Structure 1
Amino acid sequence: MKHYRTIIGALLASAALAGAAGACEITFKSSDTHPEGYPTVAAVEKMGEMLKERSNGRLCVEVYHSAQLGEEKDTIEQTKFGVIDFNRVSMGPFNNLVEETKVVSLPFIFRGTDHMHRVMDGPIGDEILAAFEPHGYVGLAYYDGGSRSFYNREKPIKSVEDLAGMKVRVMQSDVFVDMMTALGANATPMPFGEVYSGLQTGVIDGAENNWPSYESTGHYEVAGYYTLNQHLIVPEVLVMSKVSWDKLSPEDQALVRQAAKDSVPINRELWAEREKVSEAKVRAAGVQVIDTIDKAPFIAAMAPVYERHANTPKLKSLVERIQATE
């Protein structure tokens, strides 16, 4: 029932905007869980501007930020059925649907942001985008989502042992749940929009995310310890509903692909700027930041996670190719 209410809400929101977009032949709905001005939101808006200009005003994009159309799990389903046309989503919620996404969601799979860019900008990235299509989505582009680190309301996390017994929010992904279990914590899958109240009320002790997400949500106000362990550098993905895609001419499909691709450097530039601003704001607020940590024990603890989730010849090969990428 909740699913249908969410879809009806999205349709009503679309109808409300129909008048404003009257000059466009097609107005695509795009969803993002992050707030207005966030780098991923701004990048999709720029994509929409390019698409409108290059189509001579025929194709427009209306971006619904701040989870207006639902949390990511809900919007992924709506996108499959064409209720939502574009969706900027974290890779984690796709892990149980598109198995290739599990590999780039593995902890410490990337050596750094530059390494992630080289992998995702090349044939491996193209291969993973193509893997979305059999499931009802057209993979278009990858956006930066920064490096994710642990934060909590209880104490500084300086070692694996410090996580023992902590209730830590994770995305609704088996990879993320198993990561926390391997570190001795109690993984608590929870929608992103519920994390603040969960921290505030003690339903969870901590969570993990990047600087901008930690700052923009106000999580730093209720979880004052941030550990720069950078266990995940997971690219965000921009997908389009295959239902919506198949309605377009080949020429318009090409316009969409190119505009999405051209929005990537915009996202990366905005992300780098926002990351610095968010970090400065968090530090100025008095958050205790643990800057230096021995990552080796954290990496060693991930062996069972790799064994469970890179468990086929195809996925093992993907891990090896990523690790071999210079």
Structure 2
Amino acid sequence: MKKILLVCILLTAFMSCKKDGKTQTLYLAHTLPQTHPVHKGIVEFKKALNKKSGGTMDVKIFPDGQLGSEREVLELLQIGSVAITKVSAATLSNFVPEYHVLGIPYLFRDKDHQFEVLEGEVGKSILEKGSKFWLRGLGYYDAGSRSFYTSTKPIRTPDDLKGLKIRVMNNQMAINMVNALGGSATPMAYGELYTAIQQGVVDGAENNPPSFVSSNHYEVSKYYTLDQHSSVPDVLLIGTKYWDKLSEEEKQWVQEAADESSQAQKKFWNDSVEESMAIAKKAGVEIIIPEKSLFQEKSKSVLEAFLKEHPEMTDLINKIKNQ
């Protein structure tokens, strides 16, 4: 069925890049549910663009992975079948190497530092790097910070991770980080995780508060340690095949709408975090605020290994750290 749907999109691709005399419609696809704070930010993008263009530009949103996975939708952007998408910077790093940097553990001092970087010259330069791969970045959405949660015992220091099997994404940097901290990184499909924790196949996992609650993992993991080891943002992208067809005025409308939606989405995310934490606490989850410097110190080898493999990223990382 997905293949048939993709063929249909290809056959009707002209609709996402052609004016009908009144309105041109941009297809925007992503994988998140409509209740997600990032989707709410995307809705704000649609509203802002429609208003700025006086109704001459509209956005048709395809949520819930209707048009495929993040990688599949990125490929649709590259060939011009879809105009815009939202993907994790982690997924985008497979296309644009500079996005790998944003996954380095404890790269950002705090949330303020993160968005000072992302919304400043460094963040904008990374967005522009994707243009040579036909993927032009428009801005960043807050996707929170990932922290450890466990079912067997609380994590207060890195030593508490020793011997614990921690589920991670199938991502080398995430695997290296957990292993460096003393845990045993265990890549596993996200859909299998609830049962795996419940049955003791793994001792815990790591994710942001809204995901911790929406997945119901708080039911089987009663310790949540807010070490905030990684803060990988989501990225709003437009395919250059579409972007290059726009007039300068239309490009300005699209960029301004993206900027406004990014600011609105931060509030949606913060509200979601507060709501999720309240649910977790009410369910009896112990919230632990650890000394982050202990985790940061012990995970330095991850950065060292990354720089050894990617020395060309040294200047970019130093700019982020020094901002």
TM-score, normalised via structure 2 length: 0.86
- Structure 1 CA distance for aligned equivalents of residues 149 and 136 of structure 2: 34
SS in 1 for 2:270: helix
Over aligned residue pairs, what C-alpha RMSD do you find?
Answer: 2.8
- Structure 2 CA distance for aligned equivalents of residues 207 and 148 of structure 1: 10
Conserved 8 A contact 2:9-2:81: no
Give the structure 2 partner of residue 32 of structure 1: 30
SS in 1 for 2:166: strand
- Structure 2 CA distance for aligned equivalents of residues 24 and 197 of structure 1: 52
1:233 deviates by: 2.2
Which of 250, 254, 257 is equivalent to 1:256? Answer: 254
| Number of residue pairs the alignment of both structures matches | 316
Which of 277, 290, 295 is equivalent to 2:292? Answer: 295
1:142 deviates by: 0.8
Which of 291, 298, 304 is equivalent to 1:307? Answer: 304
Which of 268, 275, 282 is equivalent to 1:284? Answer: 282
Which of 167, 174, 197 is equivalent to 1:176? Answer: 174
Give the structure 1 partner of residue 131 of structure 2: 133
SS in 2 for 1:157: coil
Segment of structure 1 superposing worse, 177-186 or 230-239:
177-186
SS in 2 for 1:310: helix
Conserved 8 A contact 2:10-2:81: no
- Structure 2 CA distance for aligned equivalents of residues 201 and 28 of structure 1: 45
Alignment-mate amino acid for residue 223 of structure 2: Y
Conserved 8 A contact 2:141-2:266: yes
Which of 1, 9, 29 is equivalent to 2:5? Answer: 9
Once the two structures are superposed, the pairs formed by residues 49-198 of structure 1 within 5 Å of their partners are 49-190=47-188, 192=190, 195-196=193-194, 198=196
- Structure 2 CA distance for aligned equivalents of residues 50 and 23 of structure 1: 21
Give the structure 1 partner of residue 215 of structure 2: 217
> Does the C-alpha gap of structure 1 residues 179 and 57 become closer, same or farther in structure 2, counting only changes over 3 Å?
same
1:196 deviates by: 4.1
- Structure 2 CA distance for aligned equivalents of residues 74 and 273 of structure 1: 30
SS in 2 for 1:176: helix
1:82 deviates by: 3.2
1:190 deviates by: 4.7
Alignment-mate amino acid for residue 297 of structure 1: L
Q: Percent identity?
A: 35
Structure 2 unpaired stretches of 5+: none
1:189 deviates by: 4.0
1:24 deviates by: 7.1
> Does the C-alpha gap of structure 1 residues 287 and 256 become closer, same or farther in structure 2, counting only changes over 3 Å?
same
1:128 deviates by: 0.7
1:50 deviates by: 1.3
Conserved 8 A contact 2:197-2:204: yes
SS in 1 for 2:219: helix
Give the structure 1 partner of residue 264 of structure 2: 266
- Structure 1 CA distance for aligned equivalents of residues 38 and 198 of structure 2: 26
Conserved 8 A contact 1:23-1:57: no
1:73 deviates by: 3.6
Conserved 8 A contact 1:92-1:172: no
> Does the C-alpha gap of structure 1 residues 13 and 206 become closer, same or farther in structure 2, counting only changes over 3 Å?
farther
Once the two structures are superposed, the pairs formed by residues 194-209 of structure 1 within 5 Å of their partners are 195-196=193-194, 198-200=196-198, 204-209=202-207
Segment of structure 1 superposing worse, 114-123 or 167-176:
167-176
Are 1:237 and 2:235 matched, yes or no?
yes
1:156 deviates by: 1.9
- Structure 2 CA distance for aligned equivalents of residues 39 and 172 of structure 1: 24
- Structure 1 CA distance for aligned equivalents of residues 28 and 186 of structure 2: 28
Segment of structure 1 superposing worse, 42-51 or 63-72:
63-72
